[in-house]
A = this chain, B = another copy of it.
Amino acid sequence: MNETIMNAIQDDYPEEFAWCYGCGRLNKEGHHFRTKWNGEETVTLYKPDPAHKAIPGFVYGGLIASLIDCHGTGSASLALHRKNGFEPGSGEEPPRFVTASLHVDFVKPTPEGIVLKAVGHVEEIHPKKFKVKVEVFADDSICATGEVTAVVMPQSFGK
């Protein structure tokens, strides 16, 4: 897979929201998931670290859940940003979403050593609430499917 991620939404998150262990560009120890548009779909690519195993040869489910989680919030952010008239790289700060719920179905064991590709389809279910359906591929094989309900981070978040 030679695909690359240019103009990821996470590159444009405001600094105070760029510390997420999954997708924050400022979290030195994190995964640095990066999510972009590919037409009407959203895409995140990630090669798990050898430590991220379930049993030798296969990727840890919690890592796949993490990928789906951040792919979901990133996809929702891409969608609302586009609805507002912006694309990543435009210089505008995108809206930051948090996960209300996460569901993952593990379809089959995910082989190690391969770049995983999460593909998302976003649906607005409320002006501040988006549903993202996600498929995770290893090469051309679906290993997991998921659904994220993401909501715009309330100003009161954590206060």
| 0 or 1 for each of A1-45: is its CB under 8 Å from B? (1 = yes) | 000000000000000110111100001111000000000000000
Q: How far is the CA of A105 from the CA of B53 in the complex (A)?
A: 25
Q: Does A56 lie at the interface of the complex (its beta carbon under 8 Å from any beta carbon of B)?
A: yes
- State how many copies of this chain the complex holds: 2
Of A65-73, A117-125, A131-139, the one touching chain B: A65-73
Tell me whether A53 and B65 are in contact in the complex, defined as CB-CB below 8 angstroms, given that A21-B60, A109-B158 are known contacts.
Answer: no
Flag whether A104 is at the interface (Cβ < 8 A): yes
Contact between B106 and A65, CB atoms less than 8 A apart: no
A102 contacts chain B at the CB level, 8 A cutoff: yes
Report which residue of A51, A57, A99, A102 has the largest number of chain B beta carbons within 10 angstroms of its beta carbon. A102
Residues from chain B with a CB closer than 8 A to the CB of A157 are 55, 58, 109
A70 — which chain B residues lie within 8 A by C-beta?
62
Which of B21, B100, B111 lies in contact with A52, CB distance below 8 A?
Answer: B21
**Partner of A21 from B63, B69, B109 at Cβ < 8 Å:** B63
